[in-house]
């Protein structure tokens, strides 16, 4: 690892630590309130108007949680899909179908995901829009995630014929002036927070 790469990695680690600590300091009440405000922003933005197949996630580690919006979206005829990790220690991730009330099982990180027995996978290029979790973002469309690289690998332009619209989801305080980025980082098309919708 050369010095510049090592510096970038160190900077990202520092940003992750700061933002994750700040997220975890939010009370359960504040998280629930922010999740409701996010649902309002989603409706107001019109972002999902033409999204028939939506990838999203269930909040973990203090993330702003879009999952309370699943039922209203489902009632509007939008098909919803949640991330599901590859078997064992695989670094792969896919999106699997989810309907409200469906039983979920915890993956190796303790995050609920659709069961392999009852959910069908949706190829990444067929999703209309994906709501992407993040630790920090900037207004150039850069994102820092948890460091696993799952979303970057799944939407690598070398591997998908068509990329869905990628919209980051974050608390407003997760906005940074400028984030370090590397060649393999997949840029976002926008970010929706509990207060604003940013288009890039």
pLDDT of residue 2: 59
Task: Answer whether residue 161 shows pLDDT above 90.
Answer: no
Segment 17-43, tens digit of pLDDT: 999 999 999 999 999 999 999 999 999
For the domain that residue 54 is a member of, what is the CATH number? 3.40.50.10420
Distances (CA, A) of 116 to 55, 84, 120: 17, 9, 8
Structure tokens at 193: 């927070």
In whole angstroms, what separates CA 141 from the centre of its chain? 14
Q: What is the pLDDT of residue 3?
A: 57
79 with 121: CB under 8 angstroms? Answer: no
Residue 40's domain comprises: 3-199
pLDDT above 80 (res 89)? no
Q: How confident is the model at residue 1 (pLDDT cuts 50, 70, 90)?
A: low
Structural domains counted in the chain: 1
């Amino acid at each position: 690892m050369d010095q510049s790469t090592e510096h970038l990695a160190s900077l990202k680690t520092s940003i992750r630590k700061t933002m994750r600590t700040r997220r975890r300091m939010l009370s359960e009440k504040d998280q629930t309130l922010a999740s409701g405000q996010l649902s309002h922003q989603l409706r107001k933005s019109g972002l999902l108007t033409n999204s028939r197949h939506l990838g999203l996630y269930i909040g973990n580690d203090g993330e702003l949680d879009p999952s309370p919006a699943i039922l209203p979206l489902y009632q509007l005829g939008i098909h919803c899909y949640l991330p599901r990790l590859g078997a064992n220690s695989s670094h792969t991730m896919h999106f699997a179908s989810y309907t409200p009330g469906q039983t979920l099982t915890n993956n190796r990180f303790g995050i609920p995901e659709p069961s392999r027995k009852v959910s069908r996978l949706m190829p990444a290029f067929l999703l209309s829009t994906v709501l992407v979790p993040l630790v920090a973002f900037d207004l150039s469309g850069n994102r820092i995630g948890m460091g696993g690289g799952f979303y970057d690998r799944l939407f690598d332009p070398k591997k998908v014929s068509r990329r869905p619209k990628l919209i980051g989801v974050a608390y407003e305080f997760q906005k940074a002036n400028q984030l370090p980025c590397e060649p393999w980082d997949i840029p976002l098309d926008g970010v929706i927070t509990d207060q604003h919708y940013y288009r890039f």
